[in-house]
Structure 1
Amino acid sequence: MMGKAQILRGRIVSNTMDIDDGLIAVDGGHITYAGPASGFRGDPDAGETSSAGVESGPAGRILLPGLVDLHCHGANGSDFSEGSVEGARSAARYLHSRGTTTLLASLVTAAPADLLRNLKALRQVEEEGLIAGSHLEGPFLSAGQCGAHDPALLLAPDTGLMGELFEAAGPSLASMTLAAELPGAPSLVDLLTAHGALPSLGHTAADHPAAAAFLERAAAGLAKAPNALMGRRPTVTHLFNAMPGLHHRSPGPVSACLSAARAGDAVVELIADGVHLAPETVKTVFELVGAENIALVTDSMAATGLRDGQYRLGALAVTVDGGVARVDDTGAIAGGTATLLEVVRAAVAAGVSLRNAVTSASAVPAAVLGRSSQAGDLRAGMRADVVVVDPDLNLAGVLRGGEWVAPPRQNRS
C-alpha cells in the first residue's frame, strides 16, 4: 500500500482532537490531512480501503495515533535480552501489529558482556527502523528494590562501563533506569544527558530529597544536551513499582516523582494493566499530575500475546499464570503480558478518559523521545501511524508508515 492514497473515516481521538466525524488522508507513507470530514477538500470516498480487516465506511470506527511504548522487554515468545537480532525483530513486529508503532526495546540487568552483546543486536534492529532505540533497565539498581532483576548481577555505578555501553549501542541507547541513591549516580546522570540519553529514576530506595535532586539534575542536563528538543524530560520507571510506597512520615521517592511530574519537569510511567497498579491508583495519578505528564507503558515480556506457561526474563525463570508473570524463585512480578492498546483499555475502564489515555500512550512518550514531529499524534506531515479500533477499543487494523501491518506468525500457541 506504500505510496498509494488512502482515506480513513471515523471518530478521531488524539492529543489534539476528538472529532466524531473525522477523516485521515494518507499518501506516500505520511498523513496529508487529519481533521473534520467536512473540512477535507478531496473526495472522501476516494481511496477508501478495507485492508487489514478494516471495514469500509466510518460507522463505529475510532482512529487513534500509533501508540508509543517507552518500556517493553519483548513479546510473541522473544525477549530483547536474548541478544538475538531475529528474536528482537519478531517481538517488534508483533507489537507493531497490535498497535505499538514506536517502541524502545528494554533490557534487564545482565553481565556486562551480555549487555554489550544485546545492545549491539538492538542497534542493528534500530537501524532497520523496527524500534526507536534501546532502554537499559539496570545494572545500576537498588538491591533492595530489584524486583525481577537478578541481584547477583547488580553493579555500583561505573562511568567506565557506561562508556563501553554507549560505544556498543551508539546513538540507539535512548534511556537508562538508575537508582538515585547509589554512590556515583549523579555522574552517570551527567554522562547520560551529555549523550542525549534519558535518565529514568527507578528500582530505587531513594528518599524524597535524593529523588528530587536526581530528577532536577536530569532535567537540567537534558535542557543543555546536544540534541535538546522540546518535550524531552527525565522519566520515572514504573511509578510505585520497585520503590518504597508513599508513607505519611516517610514519603520516599513517590512524593518527589509526583511533585516533579505535576510541575511538568518529569514524566512518570504507569503500568496500568490491572496487575501492577490498582485502577483507583491509575485514576488518582491522572487526576493529580495530568495526562500530559504520564506515559502509559507495558513492561511487556516474552509471554505477551501468548498463553500461560514457562518463560524467561533475562537470566530468570518466569511462570505466567492467569496472564500474571512472576519470577519462579521469589514470586516478584516479572513484567507485563498486556499490549499497550490493552493498557489504554484498562486505563479507560479505570475511569480515565479515552483522550487522556491515548495522550499518555502516544503524544507524551513521543515527546520524551524527541519524535513529536513524526509520531504520537495525527497531523498533516507526520508519519502515517494509525490504530483503528471499534467502540470497545478492540483492534481492527494498524497502519504504520502508510502500510497495513499484518499480524506475524506466533512463535508459540
Structure 2
Amino acid sequence: MTKIHGRVVRPGAVVPGSVEVDGPTILSVDEHPHAGDDIIVPGFVDLHCHGGGGHTFTRGDARDAAAAAAFHLGHGTTTMLASLVSSPYELMRDATAAYLPLVAEGAIAGIHFEGPYLSGVRCGAQNPEFLRDPSLEELSALVELGAGAVRMMTIAPELPGALDAVRYLAGQGVVAALGHTDATYEQTLAGVAAGATVGTHVFNGMRPPHHREPGPVVALLDSPSIVCEFVADGIHLHDGMLRFAAHTTPYRSALVTDAMDAAGMPDGRYELGGQEVTVADRVARLARDGSIAGSTLTMDAAFRQAVGAGLDLPAASAMASTTPARALGLGDRLGALEAGLRADLVVLSADLRVKRVMRAGKWI
C-alpha cells in the first residue's frame, strides 16, 4: 500500500490529508493536518487531443499514437481519447483497426473522430477536401470494426442526415458531439434532442452568438444534458470568457487540449490533416489562411490556465477530470479521488507544476 500526502482536491473541497492506494485502486482518502504543500488532483481526462511531443493520432500509426499518449501521460493525462481530424474513410477505418490494441492495453480510452461530417463554413483547420455529409454506412462499419473503441464523434447538426447519425451513435453508446457548425439555435437543439451530449470546443469553430440569433454557443451552454469542452490556453478563449462559460455550466464544463503534435515541441512547421501548420510563440496556425490549428496545450497547463482565470481548485479539477470522465461514461471508475475508484492522480507543486503522476496505482 502507498500513501500520498498533500492538499487533496476532492469534489467541492480541498482538504489536507492523504490518499491511500492499494494496488490499482484508491483505498481511502483521509483528512489530517500538516500534510504538506503538494496538491493532489485526480488524473486528467482529455476528451479531445490530436497528438503531442512530436507525435500524432491523425495518421493512424499505432507506434506514433502510443508515443503521443505517453507524452501527455507525463503531463498528468491518465485517460485520453485519440482524436483524428477530417479524413478519407479509408484512413478512419485503418486507424480504428490500428488503435484497437492501444485501447485494449489502456494507453488510450478510445477514438474520437472530429469530422469529417462538419460545416465547410466553420471548418477551421479541418481540411475542406475531406468534408462530407454524414453516412450511416460509414458510421456503422467504423463502430462495428471498433468493437467499443470508437467513443466519440463530432458532427455539425445542420448537415443532411446529421440527426439520423446522432441518433445512431447515441443508440450504439458512442458519444455524439456537436461542433464545427454553422447551425442555428433551433438546429443545435435538434441535435441535442437527437442524443448529442458534448459540445466540441464550444465557441471555436461555431457561428458566433448574437442576441437575435443565439446560434449553437448559447444552445449548448444552456442545454442541461451537454458537457461543454473549452480549450483553456488563453488563445482559443479569453480568460474572462472561460470563467463566464465555466460559471454558466457548473458540472458540465470540460477542459480539453485540442493539442497537435507540436505540443511540447519547438516553434516551426508541422502538419495537420494534410495541411501545413506554422507554430510561433506556442500558437499553431494554418499556413494557408492563418486559422488556429489546434493547440500546443497540455492538460496541466490547461488546469493552470483555468485557475489563473479565477476558478478555484475544485472547479478546475472537476473540469479537468471528473466531468470529462462522466461524459465518457467512466465516472464510476475514475475522475475523482474517492475510495473504490482507480488510483489515477497527479501530484502538483504549490505553483501547480507536475511533480509525479500515478496511473492505476503505478507511478509513471
Give TM-score, length-normalised by structure 2. 0.97
Instruction: Answer yes or no: is the 8 Å Cα contact 1:205–1:243 preserved in 2.
Output: yes
The code of the aligned residue for 1:287 comes to H
Q: How many angstroms does 1:289 deviate by? A: 2.1
Is 1:6 matched with 2:2?
A: yes
Is 1:308 matched with 2:267?
A: yes
The code of the aligned residue for 1:150 comes to N
Aligned-partner SS, 1:362: helix
Q: 1:268 aligns with which of 218, 221, 228?
A: 228
Q: C-alpha separation between the residues in 2 aligned to 1:257 and 1:183? A: 20
* Larger Rg over CA atoms: 1
1:10-409 correspondence to structure 2 within 5 Å: 10-19=6-15, 21-37=16-32, 58-218=35-195, 234-260=197-223, 264-290=224-250, 292-405=251-364
Q: How many angstroms does 1:16 deviate by? A: 4.9
The verdict on how the C-alpha distance between 1:216 and 1:351 changes in structure 2, with shifts beyond 3 A counting, is same
Instruction: Answer yes or no: is the 8 Å Cα contact 2:163–2:190 preserved in 1.
Output: no
Aligned-partner SS, 1:282: helix
Give TM-score, length-normalised by structure 1. 0.86
Aligned-partner SS, 2:261: coil
Q: C-alpha separation between the residues in 2 aligned to 1:312 and 1:352? A: 34
Unaligned runs of 5+ in 2: none
Q: C-alpha separation between the residues in 1 aligned to 2:180 and 2:305? A: 24
Q: C-alpha separation between the residues in 1 aligned to 2:26 and 2:50? A: 30
Instruction: Answer yes or no: is the 8 Å Cα contact 2:14–2:313 preserved in 1.
Output: no
Q: C-alpha separation between the residues in 1 aligned to 2:182 and 2:231? A: 19
Runs of 4+ in 1 over 3 A off after TM superposition: none
Q: C-alpha separation between the residues in 1 aligned to 2:357 and 2:109? A: 18
Q: How many angstroms does 1:35 deviate by? A: 2.8
Q: How many angstroms does 1:303 deviate by? A: 0.9
Identity of aligned residues (%): 40
Partner deviation per Cα, 1:137-173 (whole Å, 9 max, x = no partner): 0010000010111101101111111122213322100
Q: C-alpha separation between the residues in 2 aligned to 1:288 and 1:98? A: 28
Instruction: Answer yes or no: is the 8 Å Cα contact 1:9–1:37 preserved in 2.
Output: no
Q: C-alpha separation between the residues in 1 aligned to 2:306 and 2:340? A: 29
Unaligned runs of 5+ in 1: 39-56, 220-233, 406-413
Q: C-alpha separation between the residues in 2 aligned to 1:91 and 1:191? A: 30
Q: C-alpha separation between the residues in 2 aligned to 1:158 and 1:270? A: 28
Q: How many angstroms does 1:95 deviate by? A: 0.8
Q: C-alpha separation between the residues in 1 aligned to 2:279 and 2:145? A: 32
Instruction: Answer yes or no: is the 8 Å Cα contact 1:159–1:188 preserved in 2.
Output: yes
Instruction: Answer yes or no: is the 8 Å Cα contact 1:110–1:315 preserved in 2.
Output: no
Tell me the matched-pair count.
Answer: 364
Q: How many angstroms does 1:352 deviate by? A: 1.2
Aligned-partner SS, 1:82: coil
The code of the aligned residue for 1:320 comes to V
